[in-house]
Structure 1
Amino acid sequence: MIQSRYALAMVVLLGGGLGTIGVDGQVLWPLQTYKSSPATMPFLNVTKQGQTEQGFLFFSPVDIIRGAGYPAIYSDDGQLVWQGQNQTTFAMQPQIFDGEPAVTYWNGTVGFGFGFGQITIIDNTYQSIYNVTLSCKEHNFVTVFDPEPLASCIDVHESQLTDNGTLLVTAVNITQADLSSVGGPVDGWVQDGLVYEIDVKTNKVLFRWSAAEHLAEVPISYAIAPLGSEGAGSGNKTDPYGYAHLNSIAKYGENYLLSSRFMCSVFLLAPNGSVIWHLHGRTGGDFHLDLGTSFCYQHDVRIIAATPERVTISMHNNDNTEFTGATYVTTGLILDLAMQGNKTVSLAGRVWDAAEPVYVQSQGSYQSLSNGHVLMGHGAVPKIEEFDANGAIVMRARFGYDNTMQSYRAYRYPWVGHPSTVPDVAACLSAATGDTTVYISWNGATDVVSWNVPVRRRIDGR
C-alpha cells in the first residue's frame, strides 16, 4: 500500500532547498518533480501561524526565467494537487457555473501589460466545457500585433462569472485619441479599455463599454501614469498609451464595478454605460478621502456590502508600478463609501504582513473568506498570505524568489476533483535489495488517501 494524501505526492526537489543557478547567475526556485508523472512545478513553501480556512489554493505560477506557466491547484501544506497544460495563464479563478464548481482562466498572446486570447472554463473533471471568445475581426479590433491575425481579443485581466450564466471580461483596442491633456500629441494612440459581458453558452455579447467612447465622464486626464513611462506606453501606434488599464470588473444588480489601474480609479457603471459614481484614490473623485484611505494602481476591487447609504469595497492596494518602483508597502484595503451627505470615504480595514512586508509593482488579488479571513495573492511577488479576522497573519506561502516567479491572482476555494484520466504508475526495482517501489500519481484527484497495490510473486520466490 502506497500512501498519498493527495493526487500527486512529491518525490524529489530539483536543486534542493537552495535552488539552482540559471541565466546570468540568477538563483532559481526549486521545483517539484515526480517518479510517476511528468509534472514539474514550483515548490510551495508554506508556514502557518494560526488556523487557516478550508479549501485548496488556486493560482497560476509563471516561471519567468525558465519560461513555463501552468494553471495549478495546491493544498495549503504545499502539495501539488493538479497541474494544467503549459501555457500563458491569467485570471485563474474557482467559481460556480450552472450550479456546479468550475474554474475559469485566460490563455492567449500577451503584450506588455495586456493580451489577446480566450477564457477556458473547466469542470471538476478538469475537462474544458466552454471556451469563451471575442472575435477580433468581427468586433474590428486593432492590436499591437497587426497585421498578424489574432482569433480572440479578450484581455488577460478578468474572467468573472455571473449568476446569469454570463462572463465579464476586459479587452484592449488600439485607437487614436487626443493626448494633449497629458502632454502628448493631438493625434496620439491609446489602449482603449473595454468591458464585455458575454453569454457563456452562445458567445453572444450582451454588454459593451469603451473608455475611449466615454471621455466626457472618464477623461484621459484622470490618468496618473506618465506618458512614455514603462508599462504605460509612449502614445504612438506601436506603443500606445495605456491610460485606463482596466483590471477588474464585477456585476452588482444591473450595474458594473470597474477598476482602472493607471487612473487609480473605481467606477460604478449603469447599464447604459454612464458613470454613477467615481472614486479616485488620490483626489477622491466624487468623494472626500478620509485619513488612510488613499490608494493607487489597485487590483481586484469588489463590493462586499451595500446599502443606499453606504457601499463597502475591498481591494489589493499595491500602490506601486514599474515606473514608480517599490515605494509603498502593499496592503489589502476595505473602504466605506458614504453615498449621502459629504460622501466621505473612511477606512474600515487594512491588512499587511508587518514582519515580512511586500512591495508589489504589478498584479494582485484580495479575497474575502469566511469568518472574516482574507487571502491575498501578490502578483509579481510570488507570495500568498492569509489573515484572520483581527488582521493577524495565519499563513505565508512562497512559490518563488522575487523576479523569478509570479501569478496574477490567487484564491482559496473548497474543491472536490474527479479527474477523467486514469492514475499514472511507475515501478522501480532496486538492484541492491530486489525490492520494488511503486509510485502512483492521479493528477487532480482530491479524495485519495492511500493506494492498495497487489503483490505478486513468481513461483521461484522472486
Structure 2
Amino acid sequence: MNPGISRKRFLQAAAGGAVLVALGGTPGCDPAPNIRSTAASAQVGQTWSFRSRPDLHAPVIEVNKNLPGTAPGRIFIAAKNGPAEAGPGQDGCMILDNDGQPVWLRLLQDEDMDVMDFKAQTYKGETVLTWWEGQHTGYGQGAYVICDHSYREVKRVRAGNGYEGDHHEFLITPEDTALITIYNKVPGDRIPMGDPVDGNVLDGIAQEVDIETGEVLFEWHSLEHVGLDESYTKPYDYFHINSIEVYDRDHLLISSRTTSTVYKVDRKTGEVVWRLGGKKSDFEMDQGTR
C-alpha cells in the first residue's frame, strides 16, 4: 500500500493506455454482466469490464482484511494472468482500493509480455509509478518504465553493457540512479571461481545505472565473488539474485535466494564485506533461526 497517494490524484485523466475508473457503481465503470457493481460482490475468477474501454478486462481481485484496523492507502499489484498462470483477464498494473475496486489500470495488450514489480517511488523529487515489463521465464528480460503523476511515460530504463533487465529489482536511489538485477548465462567451463561444471550457470548481476543517461556506474557479478559451493541448489541457477538495497554511501546489500544469504558489498571494489545467513555466514545464529 502507499498511503501518500490519494484517490483524487489517481482519478485524474490518464494517458498511455490507462483508463479513468469511477468507483461505487458510478457511470463509466461497470463489472461484467454477471457481477454486481461492488467489489464485495464480485467473484474471483471473473473480470471487470468498462463501458468506456470495452477492450480492457481487469481480473477481479479478492481483498481479505482485518477490520477495523485496515491502514489507509492503495494496493499496488501487477496482475499476472497469462497461460502459465491460468487466471482470468489481462496482465497489467492495477491500483485497487481496500475493497478491491479498481482505481487505475494499465493493462498490457501483448500476450507475450509480462508486467511485474509495480510500485510508487521518488524520482527527481516527484512521486512516480514504476514497473518492469518484458518476457519472463523464471527470470526476466525486459525494461523498466517510469510514469509521472499524469501517467505519462517519462523514462524507459534498460540495463547496460548489452544485458537485459530482470524483474526482481528496480530501485531508484536518492541520487536518481537505478539499482537493477540481471541474469546472464555463462558456460560452465568459463566460470571464474572453482572447478568448471557441465552446461550453463546463471550469473547474478547487480547494476547501478544513471537513469538520465543510461551510463553504468557499478556492476557486480556473483560468479566473481560467490562460489558454486555456497548454493543449496544445482549449479544452473546457483545464486538467483532477488533484491538490492542501499546500505550506505559505500555499500549495497544483495540478496540471493538459492544461497539463502544477504551479502554486504563494497560499491567501489565489489568485494563481499560480510555474509548474513547461508553456509558461510559471518554471524552466529541461534538454533532454529530461519
TM norm. shorter chain > 0.5 = yes
Aligned partner (choices 186, 209, 217) of residue 206 of structure 1? 217
8 Å contact kept, 1:13–1:43: no
Unaligned runs of 5+ in 1: 20-27, 142-152, 228-240, 295-462
8 Å contact kept, 2:59–2:89: no
Q: Which residue of 2 aligns with 1:97?
A: 123
1:226 aligns with 2:252: no
Q: What's the TM-score, normalizing by structure 2? A: 0.77
User: For 2:183 and 2:107, how far apart are their aligned partners in 1?
Assistant: 25
| Structure with more relative contact order (C-alpha pairs < 8 Å, separation 6 or more) | 1
User: For 1:270 and 1:171, how far apart are their aligned partners in 2?
Assistant: 18
Unaligned runs of 5+ in 2: 1-6, 12-20, 24-28, 36-40
Task: Report the Cα offset of residue 68 of structure 1.
Answer: 2.8
Q: Which residue of 1 aligns with 2:17?
A: none
8 Å contact kept, 2:142–2:166: yes
1:288 aligns with 2:284: yes
Q: Which residue of 1 aligns with 2:53?
A: 37
User: For 2:178 and 2:220, how far apart are their aligned partners in 1?
Assistant: 14
Q: Which residue of 2 aligns with 1:158?
A: 169
Aligned partner (choices 252, 260, 280) of residue 264 of structure 1? 260
Q: Which residue of 2 aligns with 1:8?
A: 22
8 Å contact kept, 1:94–1:101: yes
1:308-360 per-residue CA deviation (whole Å, 9 max, x = no partner) reads xxxxxxxxxxxxxxxxxxxxxxxxxxxxxxxxxxxxxxxxxxxxxxxxxxxxx
Give the partner amino acid of 2:59.
Answer: P
| Percent identity over paired residues | 31
Give the partner amino acid of 1:246.
Answer: I
8 Å contact kept, 1:93–1:159: no
User: For 1:98 and 1:107, how far apart are their aligned partners in 2?
Assistant: 22
Say if 1:264 and 1:164 are closer, same or farther in 2 by CA, change over 3 A: same
8 Å contact kept, 1:196–1:207: yes
Aligned partner (choices 240, 244, 259) of residue 245 of structure 1? 240
1:80-111 per-residue CA deviation (whole Å, 9 max, x = no partner) reads 01111315111222111111111111111222
8 Å contact kept, 1:179–1:220: no
User: For 1:209 and 1:11, how far apart are their aligned partners in 2?
Assistant: 49
Q: Which residue of 2 aligns with 1:124?
A: 149
Say if 1:191 and 1:36 are closer, same or farther in 2 by CA, change over 3 A: same
8 Å contact kept, 2:230–2:280: no
User: For 1:14 and 1:286, how far apart are their aligned partners in 2?
Assistant: 59
Q: Which residue of 2 aligns with 1:52?
A: 70
Say if 1:188 and 1:255 are closer, same or farther in 2 by CA, change over 3 A: same
User: For 1:213 and 1:284, how far apart are their aligned partners in 2?
Assistant: 16
The correspondence of residues 340-359 of structure 1 with structure 2, limited to 5 A, is none
Task: Report the Cα offset of residue 140 of structure 1.
Answer: 4.9
User: For 2:286 and 2:33, how far apart are their aligned partners in 1?
Assistant: 50
Q: Which residue of 2 aligns with 1:75?
A: 97
Task: Report the Cα offset of residue 221 of structure 1.
Answer: 1.0
Task: Report the Cα offset of residue 34 of structure 1.
Answer: 2.1
Give the partner amino acid of 1:279.
Answer: L
The count of residues paired between Structure 1 and Structure 2 equals: 248
Look up the SS of the partner of 2:273 in the other structure.
strand
1:383-403 per-residue CA deviation (whole Å, 9 max, x = no partner) reads xxxxxxxxxxxxxxxxxxxxx
Q: Which residue of 2 aligns with 1:300?
A: none
